[in-house]
Structure formats: C-alpha cells, structure tokens
Amino acid sequence: MAEPKPLSSILHSMQQEYPWQTAHHTRLVQQIWPDLVGPAIARNARVMRIDQGVIKLAVASSVWSQEIQYLKPIVLSKLNERLPEHLQVQDIRSRVLVRAVTKTEMPSAHNERFYRVRLVKGAQPAEGLESLVQRVRQRHEDAVAFWLATDYHRCPICHSPTLNRYVRCSVCGPTFSS
C-alpha cells in the first residue's frame, strides 16, 4: 500500500501536469502587474492572459496601448526580475477592449495640458447658448469676409472657401480653372 501524500503535494503535482498552468501563470502576473506599472496604467491596461512568453493585455484606448509600447522594455525587465525562470516574458501585446477595462482615465499630462489650455483661452462656463451661437456666427462671418478679401472665393456647390485657382473646393472635387 502506498504511503499517504499531503494534499498540497498532490495539488502541486496536478498543477504541473494539467492545462490550468496558463491560468496560474496569468494570475501570478495579474497579482504583480499594478506594482510594476503603477495605478493609472493598471486601471487602464489589464492582463488577460500569458501564453508562450507573451502577455496579452486589454487596454482602454489606443493611448494606453501606445503608452505600454513606450514602457515595454522597462516593464519586461522589471517583470522578468520578479518571475520564476520558467515564466520569463519576451513580449507584451495589447488590444483595445474597453469592456474588459472598467475605468478609463486619460494620462495626467493630457489633463494638465487641457487645464492649462482652458485657463489660457479664458473659457467662460456660464455663457448661455444664445450668446455662444451668436459669437460663433460672428466669427464665421469674419472668417468668410477675410477669405473673400484674400485669395479665396466660394465653392459653387457647397459655398466653402476655395482658393481662386480652383473652381470647386477639395470636398466637391477640385478642378483647375483655365
């Protein structure tokens, strides 16, 4: 009769033999991912699986995919330092899957830039719709007057500003005048 084995050793041997190893490896990477990339990237780039040394990420947008690509050498280096030898990662690939990433956030540099632009341009949040429409209409009329005073005329089809050397605008089909 065989000697009884502890349950932990049985589970360990089963884990080594069966296909749920990939799930175990994925879970291991998911646990250390936020520490490697920081909270902002971790919220917007989720580890979906690890397969044959390639981490597959779901990202909230192409902005986050590009950010991951810029940081790939650093992330791979940090990741491989923390993973066992048999789990070394060679590549990171990302795919935009908004549903897989619950919370989307723009990079902080973009938010700061947007805030600075709003301060510089002097946006007035309390402006009413009628005054806004009137201001847009006036700016449009000023722009049209400028175009007509310079080297532009109106397209005969859509009335957009068109350079004098063209009969029509680029949208309606440019043709040279003779």
Record the pTM: 0.47
pLDDT(116) > 70:
no
Strands 161-163 and 152-154 come out as: antiparallel
Q: CATH number for the domain including 31?
A: 3.30.70.2210
Residue 60 domain flag? yes
Average pLDDT over residues 87-104: 78
Residue 163 domain flag? yes
22 and 96 inside one domain: yes
Residue 5 domain flag? no
| Range picked from 64-68, 138-142, 154-158 for highest mean pLDDT | 64-68
77 and 150 inside one domain: no
Average pLDDT over residues 94-103: 73
Among positive and negative, which fits the CA dihedral 120, 122, 125, 131?
A: negative
pLDDT(28) > 70:
yes
Residue 130 domain flag? no
96 and 166 inside one domain: no
30-86 confidence digits (pLDDT tens): 899 999 898 888 888 999 888 888 999 999 888 899 999 999 999 999 999 998 888
Residue 108 domain flag? no
- In angstroms, the CA 159 to CA 147 distance is 12
96 and 157 inside one domain: no
85 and 156 inside one domain: no
Give the per-residue pLDDT at 145: 80
Comparing 81 with 152, the larger pLDDT belongs to 81
Of 100, 134, 159, which residue sits at a domain end? 100
Residue 120 domain flag? no
Helix (H, G, I), strand (E, B) or coil at 173: coil
91 and 157 inside one domain: no
- Domain hosting residue 155, numbered range: 144-178
What is the tally of structural domains in the chain?
2
